[in-house]
Structure 1
Amino acid sequence: MPNTAANKRVHVAVGVIRNPLGDILIARRANEAHQGGLWEFPGGKVDAGEGVCEALARELNEELGIYIELASCRSLIEINHDYSDKTVFLDVWLVTKFSGEAVGREGQPLRWVSPKSLSDYVFPAANVAIVEAIQCAETV
């Protein structure tokens, strides 16, 4: 569905968090949430006046209890996706250096998975391009 004035646009900072073994962290959305029960890459809304990297650092600390090294983050992909009720702009960053141990602070299940096994999980439609970008980078 095309973006209309009725659709809300949401800017989301997303982290593709890679551990030293090369695995990627994914989280399962709460059943009652938008796209509930599906797997996603952690992150959250960018607040007004907030930079995307600052938002990512804040969200990952709030959701997972980790501290990311901003200097090590690099942009991976940008995605605009229209759902029937909202349009999301996913600003996706690769995170390779962080401290702390990731824990689902909001009760969300977490999994560290290999890039090739990401295809075994069901993600929201907007996240499919992220999975493809990760898997494509693995073959380079």
Structure 2
Amino acid sequence: MAEEDWRACPGGVPAAGLPSVLVACAVLVDADGRILVTDRPAGKDMAGLWEFPGGKVEPGESPEAALVRELAEELGIETRESCLAPCGFASHAYPGVHLLLLAFAIRKWQGTPAPREGQRLKWVRLPDLFSLAMPPADRPLLGQVAAIL
């Protein structure tokens, strides 16, 4: 493959020397097969874009524990690490940081998801995910999620 050809691949040219951030996100699937997405609230980078709920993994924390914590904080729901099924990952270089995003499908939780951090939320059918405006790091997850669900 010619050098200029690989530069056009999704994600562009890998950036060297950026700090890495590990993020865990949830693909919450309800009884009707719909998937929950939340938008990035005003004041945050990429405000208004739709994403899978979740957040940064803190030092010493497993991705699963981080996601259980984040879902309680962001949506007021409870789940267990044993209810999380890995369903994809994405690696994306943003200006100043390299994001590694780990996705987990979840079908069992307690409570009703409700926005607790100023975000909006909506339940969408799998095909409708592909038409949402999403952050670049989330887009590669869509095909992986579709293949598993």
1:100 aligns with 2:117: no
CA distance in 2, matches of 1:16, 1:91: 10
- Unaligned 5+ runs, structure 1: none
Q: Where does residue 16 of structure 2 map in the other structure?
A: 4
Q: Select the residue among 89, 110, 115 that pairs with 2:121.
A: 110
CA distance in 2, matches of 1:134, 1:66: 22
Q: Where does residue 25 of structure 1 map in the other structure?
A: 36
Count of equivalent residues: 137
Greater alpha carbon shift after TM alignment, 50-59 vs 31-40: 31-40
Aligned CA-pair RMSD: 1.3
- Unaligned 5+ runs, structure 2: 1-12
Residue 107 of structure 1: how far off its partner (Å): 1.3
Residue 102 of structure 1: how far off its partner (Å): 0.3
CA distance in 1, matches of 2:53, 2:132: 15
4+ runs deviating over 6 angstroms = none
Letter in 2 for 1:95: I
Q: How does 1:1-140 map to 2 (within 5 A)?
A: 1-5=13-17, 7-138=18-149
Greater alpha carbon shift after TM alignment, 47-56 vs 72-81: 72-81
Larger radius of gyration between Structure 1 and Structure 2: 2
Greater alpha carbon shift after TM alignment, 104-113 vs 31-40: 31-40
- Residue by residue over 1:51-86, the C-alpha shift from the partner in whole angstroms, topping out at 9 and shown as x without a partner, is 111100000000000011322211111211111221
The percent identity for this pair of structures is: 34
Residue 4 of structure 1: how far off its partner (Å): 3.2
Report the TM-score when normalising by structure 1: 0.91
CA distance in 2, matches of 1:48, 1:81: 20
CA distance in 2, matches of 1:49, 1:67: 21
| Contact 2:29 2:35 (8 Å CA) reproduced | yes
SS in 1 for 2:138: helix
CA distance in 2, matches of 1:69, 1:112: 21
Q: Name the structure with the higher strand share.
A: 1
